[in-house]
């Protein structure tokens, strides 16, 4: 039984997360309503290994992009997800306040980075000056609420599932 638990923690769980995340990108959902940032934060917290956490999030995005198509904001999106992982590495106990702060920080970073990328790469859409950059941020405000809400909701869901798994002794934890 111990070998089974070790496999879940070290192999099966990351693969299951990758597949589940990839599938969530392929089903219809509101713009920017995604578990990706929450998984970035949670994987940083749970795995405590930068490379494994980055692999889970980036590879799941890449699989989705294979089906959805590659785009000019991929680099900026992946950087923002990497920052979510780094934020997750700073989470110590996955308590409500840490969920609140990490969800807010990762959402704001995602907003700033990806909209900077939109301003930089979307040709004639925005003037290439400070005013154009600010316009790109203002135009993206309606999408930010979905990013923020989904990140909080998925982090809370991960918190509930994580606590249940620890209680049922499915996962070993030293947190």
Residue ranges and CATH numbers for the domains of the chain are 2-167 (1.10.1760)
Pick the more confident residue, 65 or 80: 80
Please give the structure tokens belonging to residue 120: 């930089």
pLDDT confidence of residue 87: 98
Q: How far apart are the first and last CA of the chain?
A: 22
Per DSSP, 31 falls in state: T
Answer yes or no: is pLDDT of 67 > 80: yes
The DSSP 8-state label assigned to residue 49 in this structure reads: -
Q: What percent of the chain has pLDDT over 70?
A: 89
Confidence at residue 147, expressed as pLDDT on a 0 to 100 scale: 96
Flag whether pLDDT at 84 surpasses 60: yes
Q: Is the pLDDT of residue 155 over 90?
A: yes
**Is the pLDDT assigned to residue 59 strictly greater than 80?**
yes
Q: CB–CB of 76/114 below 8 Å? A: yes
Report the C-alpha gap between 37 and 90 in whole angstroms. Answer: 15
pLDDT of residue 58: 93
- Residue 33 is predicted with a pLDDT of 92
Q: What share of the chain in percent tops pLDDT 90?
A: 56
* Residue bearing tokens 């992009």: 65
pLDDT of residue 24: 84
Averaged pLDDT for residues 120-148:
94
Structure confidence at residue 83 (pLDDT): 98
Distance CA 79, CA 29 (A): 23
Mean pLDDT across 71-100? 95
Structure tokens at 32: 């920017």
């Amino acid at each position: 039984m111990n070998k089974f638990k070790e496999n879940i923690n070290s192999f099966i769980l990351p693969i299951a997360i990758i597949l589940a995340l990839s599938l969530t990108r392929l089903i219809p959902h509101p713009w920017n309503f995604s578990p990706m940032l929450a998984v970035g934060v949670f994987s940083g917290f749970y795995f405590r290994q930068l490379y494994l956490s980055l692999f889970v999030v980036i590879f799941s995005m890449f699989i989705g992009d294979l089906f959805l198509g590659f785009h000019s904001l991929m680099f900026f999106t992946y950087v923002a997800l990497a920052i979510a992982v780094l934020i997750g590495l700073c989470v110590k106990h996955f308590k409500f306040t840490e969920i609140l702060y990490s969800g807010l920080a990762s959402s704001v970073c995602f907003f700033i980075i990806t909209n900077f990328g939109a301003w930089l790469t979307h040709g004639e859409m925005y003037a290439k000056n400070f005013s154009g950059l600010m316009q790109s941020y203002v135009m993206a405000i309606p999408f930010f609420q979905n990013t923020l809400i989904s990140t909080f909701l998925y982090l809370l869901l991960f918190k509930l599932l994580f606590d249940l798994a620890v209680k049922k002794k499915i996962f070993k934890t030293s947190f």
